[in-house]
Amino acid sequence: MNWFMPFGRRKSASVARERLQILLTHERGAEDHEDLIPILREEVLAAVTKHVLVDVDKVQVKIERGKAVSLLEIDIELPCDAKPAKRCAAARRTARSQRIAVQQAH
Amino acid sequence: MAQVVVVTSGKGGVGKTTTTAALGAALAQSGQRVAVVDFDVGLRNLDLVLGAERRVVYDLIYVAQGNVKLSQALIRDKRLETLYLLAASQTRDKDALTDEGVEKVMSELRSSFDWIICDSPAGIERGATLAMRHADVAVVVTNPEVSSVRDSDRIVGLLDAKTDKAARGERMEKHLLLTRYDPVRAGRGDMLNVDDVIDILSLPLLGIIPESEEVLRASNLGSPVTISNPKSPPARAYGDAAQRLMGADVPMVFPTDRSGLFGKLFGRRAA
C-alpha cells in the first residue's frame, strides 16, 4: 500500500490503520496494567519468601508512568532477624531498598 | 450440544441485529433448531427486523422472572419452523433482568435448541456483559471504520474477562464479521480493507458482508436477508458465515467491484 501518493494526498485508510495501531497498542497496555501491581506484588513476595521471611506489609510495589519511560519500584524491607540468619548482615547492607527501572515502550 | 453465540460489537449501528436475524435464519434454513434472543432491553428491535413485532406478548424478562413459561414467550417464525424469537422488553426497567434469571433462561434454551443467538445491546454496560456471559462463541461485528474497530477491540477485552468461559479459564472462541464493506472504496484506499481490520483486531474472519441495498430492503420488509433475497451477495455471505459457524470449510468470498474492468480483472477469491 502506498503511503504517499504521487500527487500529494495520502490515502485515508492507511492513516486510519496507523492511528488505530498506535491507539490500540496503548489501550491494550492500559488494560493489562490494571492487574499488574497486585500480580507483581504477589509474585515478588513469593520469590523473596522462598529465601527470606519478610513481613507482607513491608512490600511496596508501585509504578510511575512517564512519557518515554515508566519506573517500576519495588521496596522490600527485610528484618535483620530474617532467615537464614547468616544472610542477615548482607541483606541489611544491600537490600534495604531495591529499585528496578523497567523500560517500557509507549 | 447447544451452542450459545453472542453477536456483539461495542459500537451501535454496525449491524448486530441484522446479523443476528440473518445468521439465525441461515442456520434454521440448514435445518438447525435456533432461538434468537434480544438482550437490548428498552430498545428492542430484533422483533421488527424479523417481522414479528405484532406477535410479541411475553418477553425475556417475563421468563427470567418466572412469570411465564419459556414456551409461552418463544415466538415461532412464520417462514422457518425451526426459528424462534425471544424478544426483549420494550417498557420495563433494564435492571429487571437479573444474572440468575438470565442463567435460568439460557440453561432452559440450551436443552431445547441447537443454537442460541444472543443479540447484544451496544455499549459495554451491564446489558452487553449479560448478553455475552453465557456464550460459547462470539461474533464480533465490525464496520471498516476507526470507531467501530476501536470499540470491537474493547469488546474483545471484555469477552476475555467478563464471561463464564473466561472465569472457568477457558478460551472464548471469537470471530470477526466485517459488515458494510465497500470493495470500491477499500480498493481506492479510502476505507480500511479486510486485511487491515484482521491485522488490527487479530481475530479469525467469519465473513465479509458487502454494503448492499438488500440489507435495508430486508429490514423494511421484516425479513432476514437470507430469506428476502437468498441469492443476493449479503445473503450468500451470511449463509457462508453460518456454514462456517457449523464447522464447514467454506471458501471466503471477497466482495469485488464488479462494475469496472479493474474489479473484474483483480477481483480475488480466497483459497
Structurally, chain A folds into a number of domains equal to 2
User: Nearest to residue B10, comparing CAs of B194, B136, B143, B193?
Assistant: B143
* Shared-domain flag, residues A89 and A69: yes
* Shared-domain flag, residues A23 and A3: yes
pLDDT of residue A46: 84
Is residue B181 within 8 A of residue B36, CB to CB? The reply is: no
Evaluate if residue B113 carries a pLDDT over 80: yes
* Shared-domain flag, residues A28 and A71: no
Nearest Cβ partner of A20 from B146, B154, B193? Answer: B146
User: Nearest to residue A65, comparing CAs of A38, A29, A97?
Assistant: A29
Nearest Cβ partner of A14 from B150, B189, B199? Answer: B189
In chain A, which residues have pLDDT < 70? 1-9, 29-35, 65-67, 81-106
CB contact (8 A) between residue B191 and residue A28: no
Evaluate if residue B184 carries a pLDDT over 60: yes
Q: Tell me the pLDDT band of B270, cut-offs 50, 70 and 90.
A: very low
Nearest Cβ partner of B146 from A2, A19, A28? Answer: A19
Domain spanning B3-266, CATH architecture? 3-Layer(aba) Sandwich (3.40)
* Shared-domain flag, residues A13 and A49: no
- Residue B170 C-alpha cell reads as 477457558
Residue A27 contacts B where some CB pair is shorter than 8 Å:
yes
d(CA B239, CA B233): 10
CA angle centred on A24, ends A23 and A25, rounded to 5°: 95
Q: What tens digit of pLDDT does each residue of B17-45 get?
A: 999 999 999 999 999 999 999 999 999 99
Which is it for strands A70-76 and A59-65: parallel, antiparallel or unpaired?
Answer: antiparallel
Is residue B172 within 8 A of residue B135, CB to CB? The reply is: yes
Residue B78 contacts A where some CB pair is shorter than 8 Å:
no
CB contact (8 A) between residue A17 and residue B186: no
Q: Tell me the pLDDT band of B271, cut-offs 50, 70 and 90.
A: very low
Residue B146 contacts A where some CB pair is shorter than 8 Å:
yes
Question: Distance from B192 to chain A by nearest Cα, in Å?
Answer: 5
- Residue B264 C-alpha cell reads as 473484474
d(CA B88, CA B59): 5
Residue B188 contacts A where some CB pair is shorter than 8 Å:
yes
Is residue A33 within 8 A of residue A27, CB to CB? The reply is: no
CB contact (8 A) between residue A24 and residue B153: yes
* Shared-domain flag, residues A60 and A26: no
What average pLDDT does chain B have? 93
pLDDT of residue A105: 42
* Shared-domain flag, residues A78 and A93: yes
d(CA A51, CA A68): 35
Which residues span the domain enclosing A28? 1-34
Residue B150 contacts A where some CB pair is shorter than 8 Å:
yes
d(CA B168, CA B178): 29
d(CA A22, CA B159): 22
Q: Tell me the pLDDT band of B268, cut-offs 50, 70 and 90.
A: very low
Nearest Cβ partner of B200 from A1, A2, A24? Answer: A24
* Shared-domain flag, residues A19 and A59: no
Q: What is the share, in percent, of chain B residues with pLDDT greater than 70?
A: 94
Q: DSSP for B129-179?
A: HHHHHT-SEEEEEE-SSHHHHHHHHHHHHHHTTSSHHHHTTPPPEEEEEEE
Domain segments of chain B as ranges: 3-266
CB contact (8 A) between residue B196 and residue A17: yes
CA angle centred on B59, ends B142 and B229, rounded to 5°: 45
d(CA B128, CA B117): 13
ipTM above 0.90 for this complex = no
Pick the residue with more confidence: B99 or A45?
B99
Q: How far apart are the first and last CA of chain A?
A: 26
- Residue B239 C-alpha cell reads as 449463509
Q: What is the share, in percent, of chain B residues with pLDDT greater than 90?
A: 89
Which residues of chain B neighbour A17 with C-beta distances below 8 Å? Answer: 192, 196, 199-200
Is residue B128 within 8 A of residue B138, CB to CB? The reply is: no
How many A-B residue pairs are in contact by the CB < 8 A criterion?
40
* Shared-domain flag, residues A83 and A96: yes
Which residues of chain A neighbour B188 with C-beta distances below 8 Å? Answer: 11
Evaluate if residue B191 carries a pLDDT over 80: yes
* Shared-domain flag, residues A8 and A45: no
* Shared-domain flag, residues A52 and A21: no
pLDDT of residue B178: 97
Question: Distance from A40 to chain B by nearest Cα, in Å?
Answer: 19
Q: What ranges make up the beta strands (E) of A2-92?
A: 59-65, 70-76
Distance of CA B88 to CAs A36, B116, B214, B271, Å?
Answer: 39, 15, 26, 40
